[in-house]
A and B are shown apart, each in its own frame.
Chain A
Amino acid sequence: MTPELLFLKAALVAYLLATGAFGLYLLLLHPISRLVGLSLLLAAFLAHGGAIVARSITAGHIAVITDYEALSFFAWLVVGVYVAVELRYRLPAVGAVVAALAFVVTLGSAVFYSGVRELPPNLRSAWLFVHVTLAFLGNAVLALAFCVSLVYLFQERQLKEKRIGERMRRLPSLETLDQLNYRALSWGFPLLTLGIITGAFWGKYSWGTFWSWEPRETFSLIVWILYAGLLQARLVAGWRGRRLATVTIIGFAVVLVSFVFGNVFFPGKHGGSFD
Chain B
Amino acid sequence: MGRDILIVGLSHHTAPVAVRERLGFSQADLQPALGRLAGLDGVHEAAIVSTCNRVEVVACVEEDAHAHGLDAKISEFLAAERKMPHAEFASHLYAHSGREGVRHLFRVASSLDSMVVGEPQILGQVKDHYEEAALAGTSGSVLHRVFHRAFAVAKRVRTETGIAGKAVSVASAAVDLAGTIFETFDDKTAMLIGAGTMSELAARHLKSQGVASVMIATRTFERAVAVAREFEGVPVPFDRVAEYLKLADVVIGSAAATEYLVTSPLVQEVLRARKQRPMFFIDLAVPRNFDPAINQLDNVYLYDIDDLAVAVAGNVDEREREAVRAEAIVEEEVGRFWRWFESLEVVPTIVAIREKVEAIRRRELEKALATLKDQAPRHRELLDSLTSSIVNKILHTPISTLKHYDDRDGTLDLITSARRLFDVEPPSSATDDDESDKEST
Q: Which residues of A contact B (CB under 8 A)?
A: 155, 159-160, 162, 164, 168-169, 171-176, 179, 237-243
Which of A162, A169, A171, A238 contacts B307 (CB under 8 A)?
A162
Contact A175 B311 (CB under 8 A): no
The minimal Cβ–Cβ distance linking B379 to chain A, given in whole angstroms, is 92
> Can you spell out 20 A-B residue pairs with CB atoms less than 8 angstroms apart?
A159-B181, A160-B295, A164-B173, A164-B307, A164-B311, A168-B180, A169-B180, A171-B180, A172-B183, A173-B181, A173-B182, A174-B278, A175-B182, A179-B183, A237-B276, A238-B272, A239-B276, A240-B276, A240-B277, A241-B276
CB nearest neighbor in B for A236: B275
B177 within 8 A of partner (CB): yes
CB nearest neighbor in B for A170: B180
Given the known interface contacts A176-B183, A240-B299, the answer about A164 and B276 at a Cβ–Cβ threshold of 8 Å is: no
Contact B278 A241 (CB under 8 A): yes
The minimal Cβ–Cβ distance linking B285 to chain A, given in whole angstroms, is 18
B383 within 8 A of partner (CB): no
0 or 1 for each of B237-280: is its CB under 8 Å from A? (1 = yes): 00000000000000000000000000000000000100111100
Contact B278 A175 (CB under 8 A): yes
The minimal Cβ–Cβ distance linking B136 to chain A, given in whole angstroms, is 48
A175 CA to B173 CA, complexed, in Å? 18
A164 CA to B272 CA, complexed, in Å? 28
A242 CA to B276 CA, complexed, in Å? 11
CB nearest neighbor in A for B188: A175
B176 within 8 A of partner (CB): yes
B303 within 8 A of partner (CB): yes
A68 CA to B307 CA, complexed, in Å? 50
Contact B276 A174 (CB under 8 A): no
Which residues of B lie under 8 Å from residue A179 when comparing CB positions? 183
The minimal Cβ–Cβ distance linking B73 to chain A, given in whole angstroms, is 52
The minimal Cβ–Cβ distance linking B113 to chain A, given in whole angstroms, is 29
Contact B298 A174 (CB under 8 A): no
Which of A155, A238, A242, A243 contacts B180 (CB under 8 A)?
A155
Q: Which residues of B contact A (CB under 8 A)?
A: 173, 176-177, 179-184, 272, 275-278, 295, 298-299, 301, 303, 307, 310-311
A142 CA to B275 CA, complexed, in Å? 24
A263 CA to B339 CA, complexed, in Å? 91
Contact B310 A164 (CB under 8 A): yes
Which residues of A lie under 8 Å from residue B183 when comparing CB positions? 172-173, 175-176, 179
CB nearest neighbor in A for B184: A175
Given the known interface contacts A173-B182, A241-B299, the answer about A162 and B276 at a Cβ–Cβ threshold of 8 Å is: no
Which of B184, B298, B301 contacts A243 (CB under 8 A)?
B298
Contact B303 A174 (CB under 8 A): no
9 additional A-B pairs beyond A164-B310, A175-B278, beta carbons within 8 Å, are A159-B180, A159-B181, A164-B307, A168-B180, A172-B183, A173-B183, A175-B181, A240-B276, A240-B277
Contact A162 B310 (CB under 8 A): yes
Contact B181 A174 (CB under 8 A): yes
Contact A159 B276 (CB under 8 A): no
The secondary-structure label for the interface of chain A is helix
CB nearest neighbor in A for B311: A164
A-B pairs, 9 with minimum CB distance:
A238-B275, A238-B276, A164-B311, A175-B183, A173-B183, A241-B299, A176-B183, A175-B182, A174-B181
Contact B295 A173 (CB under 8 A): no
Which residues of A lie under 8 Å from residue B307 when comparing CB positions? 162, 164
A91 CA to B299 CA, complexed, in Å? 21
A175 CA to B176 CA, complexed, in Å? 14
Q: Which of A162, A173, A240, A243 has the most CB of B within 10 A?
A: A162
Which residues of B lie under 8 Å from residue A169 when comparing CB positions? 176, 179-180
Contact B275 A242 (CB under 8 A): no
The minimal Cβ–Cβ distance linking A181 to chain B, given in whole angstroms, is 13
Which residues of A lie under 8 Å from residue B272 when comparing CB positions? 238
The minimal Cβ–Cβ distance linking A174 to chain B, given in whole angstroms, is 5
Which residues of B lie under 8 Å from residue A243 when comparing CB positions? 298
The minimal Cβ–Cβ distance linking B69 to chain A, given in whole angstroms, is 55
Which residues of A lie under 8 Å from residue B277 when comparing CB positions? 238, 240
Q: Which of B272, B298, B310 has the most CB of A within 10 A?
A: B298
Contact A242 B298 (CB under 8 A): yes
CB nearest neighbor in A for B274: A238
A168 CA to B303 CA, complexed, in Å? 15
A85 CA to B293 CA, complexed, in Å? 37
Which residues of B lie under 8 Å from residue A159 when comparing CB positions? 177, 180-181, 301
Contact B181 A164 (CB under 8 A): no
A45 CA to B273 CA, complexed, in Å? 45
The minimal Cβ–Cβ distance linking A73 to chain B, given in whole angstroms, is 33
Which residues of A lie under 8 Å from residue B275 when comparing CB positions? 238
Which residues of B lie under 8 Å from residue A175 when comparing CB positions? 181-184, 278
Contact B177 A164 (CB under 8 A): yes
CB nearest neighbor in A for B179: A173
A242 CA to B310 CA, complexed, in Å? 25
Given the known interface contacts A238-B276, A241-B298, the answer about A174 and B310 at a Cβ–Cβ threshold of 8 Å is: no
Which residues of B lie under 8 Å from residue A240 when comparing CB positions? 276-278, 299
The minimal Cβ–Cβ distance linking A79 to chain B, given in whole angstroms, is 25
Which of A160, A172, A176, A238 contacts B301 (CB under 8 A)?
A160
The minimal Cβ–Cβ distance linking A163 to chain B, given in whole angstroms, is 10
Which residues of B lie under 8 Å from residue A239 when comparing CB positions? 276
The minimal Cβ–Cβ distance linking B105 to chain A, given in whole angstroms, is 37
Given the known interface contacts A160-B295, A162-B303, A243-B298, the answer about A173 and B180 at a Cβ–Cβ threshold of 8 Å is: yes
A241 CA to B177 CA, complexed, in Å? 17
A113 CA to B298 CA, complexed, in Å? 44
The minimal Cβ–Cβ distance linking A166 to chain B, given in whole angstroms, is 10
CB nearest neighbor in B for A179: B183
The minimal Cβ–Cβ distance linking A11 to chain B, given in whole angstroms, is 33
CB nearest neighbor in B for A162: B307
A241 CA to B278 CA, complexed, in Å? 8
A175 CA to B278 CA, complexed, in Å? 8
The minimal Cβ–Cβ distance linking B250 to chain A, given in whole angstroms, is 12
CB nearest neighbor in B for A168: B180
Which residues of B lie under 8 Å from residue A174 when comparing CB positions? 180-182, 278
